[in-house]
Amino acid sequence: MSLRPRIAALACLIPLTLSACSSSSDGEPTPSASRIISGTTPTASEAPAAPTEIGGAATATVTAQDVVATGLDAPWAVEPMADGSLLVTERDTASIKRVRAGVATTLNGPGAEALRGIVAKKGEGGLLGLAVLSGDTTYVYAYVTRAKDNAVVRMQLTGDLLGQPTAIVEGIPAAKNHDGGRIEFGPDGYLYIATGDASQPQTARDTGSLAGKILRVVAKGGPKDGRAAPENPWANRVWSIGHRNVEGLAFVADGRLYASELGQDAWDELNLVVGGCDYGWPDSEGEDGLPLDGVTGPVETWSPDDASPSGLAATHEALYMASLKGERLWRIPLTADGTGEPEVILDGVGRIRDVAVGIDGNLYVATNNTDGRGEPREGDDRILRLTVE
């Protein structure tokens, strides 16, 4: 883990709002067997008010840990909903489950069947990221790997029924590995999409390719969903370039966007993402190869043995980063203008794929021990609820 000061890289100015910078280059659903063991979450009207100031203590502790759901099959994304439930994608079964009131229920309807038909499970691919626009649960958006490409699809959500999927972004390069897959709505209402380099590193810094990028698109359930968002730096869907395999995106309340990125052999990264910036892959990894003209360095690095990061979440006081090979949940404190020293706040549960902040303010963590690379434990895979103080 890098011990250098957590400050902005000089190649890009860091705004507290999103802006570009220059760069060089009808039936009842059938419940599954998964069960909630303890606890429920409140509705939006019962949720605590969010703090207004960014930053918190340099260190924190998990003061309570509950098992919320068990028996999941390689969960990939956890999306908290305003009613207190959680939507969870299963990578290999291409199913979306709703965890609520003691049961994990598989969403069905014509869209669920269609989704399983279009998803091609190969390598690290399958049904990956999931996003819902805040304040509007009409649609869910999912990142899928298909036979010939990767795509983001939109589906109408009515209770626990899914409508037919419509591809809003397609033609994302696909491969057995390095497919990215995380999607997240920003505070600006646009959808941010993390793509991998599809094992073609030379495409990552090519602004004409969708591989190795973070994309920014319009996605509010309209007929023109998927088009480039206004003011994108290259007048296309591309927001930032030079990424190897981003699997975590998180927005801080002040507008900052952070991304967790899997490196190759030397360094994993946490990047502060600004539109128009180049993050260097494959010409730099971590701080190796830097300084490099026009390239923005990471704000934090780890050895892959300690991290191999996936999901990322943000509260007012810290970032929380799931790690696969490292089998840890990392906490990175936030300050008004940067980040502090990372610390491990959870281990001993195996591989961790995702972490999300529930409307109750607690963290929800998805283990990933049934994906063929982990060592399954009793009840795996599970969703854990953590109280952090």
The model's pTM: 0.90
- Rounded to the nearest angstrom, the gap between the alpha carbon of residue 96 and the centroid of all alpha carbons in its chain is 16
What are the start-end ranges of the H helices in 185-230?
Answer: none
Structure-derived torsion over alpha carbons of residues 62, 68, 73, 77, reported in degrees to the nearest 10: -60
Cα distances (Å, whole numbers) of residue 64 to 83, 362, 381: 22, 10, 19
Phi-psi region of 315 (alpha: psi -120 to 50; beta: other; left: phi over 0): beta
Tell whether 18 is covered by a domain.
Answer: no
| pLDDT value of residue 50 | 60
Domain holding 54, by residue range, is 31-279+288-388
| pLDDT value of residue 12 | 54
Cα distances (Å, whole numbers) of residue 125 to 40, 179, 308: 31, 7, 16
Dihedrals phi, psi of 382, to nearest 5 degrees = -130, 160
| pLDDT value of residue 62 | 98
| pLDDT value of residue 48 | 60
Task: Report the CATH number that the domain containing residue 74 is assigned in CATH.
Answer: 2.120.10.30
> Which parts of 31-164 are beta strand (E)?
31-35, 62-69, 75-80, 86-90, 95-100, 103-106, 127-131, 139-145, 150-158, 161-162
| pLDDT value of residue 17 | 38
Tell whether 250 is covered by a domain.
Answer: yes
Tell whether 17 is covered by a domain.
Answer: no
Q: Report the length, in residues, of the chain.
A: 389
In the numeric block, which tokens belong to residue 67?
Answer: 């098992």
Determine how many CB atoms are found less than 10 A away from the CB of residue 117.
10
Tell whether 4 is covered by a domain.
Answer: no
Count of domains for the chain: 1
Tell whether 301 is covered by a domain.
Answer: yes
Structure-derived torsion over alpha carbons of residues 179, 182, 186, 192, reported in degrees to the nearest 10: 10
Residue 113: strand, helix, or coil: helix
In the numeric block, which tokens belong to residue 59?
Answer: 């260190």
Tell whether 304 is covered by a domain.
Answer: yes
| pLDDT value of residue 44 | 52
| pLDDT value of residue 217 | 98
Tell whether 367 is covered by a domain.
Answer: yes
| Mean pLDDT, 10 residues at a time, the chain of 389 residues | 40 40 35 38 56 89 96 97 96 97 90 97 94 95 97 97 98 96 98 97 98 97 94 97 98 97 97 98 98 98 98 98 98 96 98 97 97 93 97
DSSP state of 99: E
Tell whether 310 is covered by a domain.
Answer: yes
| pLDDT value of residue 103 | 83
Residue 202: strand, helix, or coil: helix
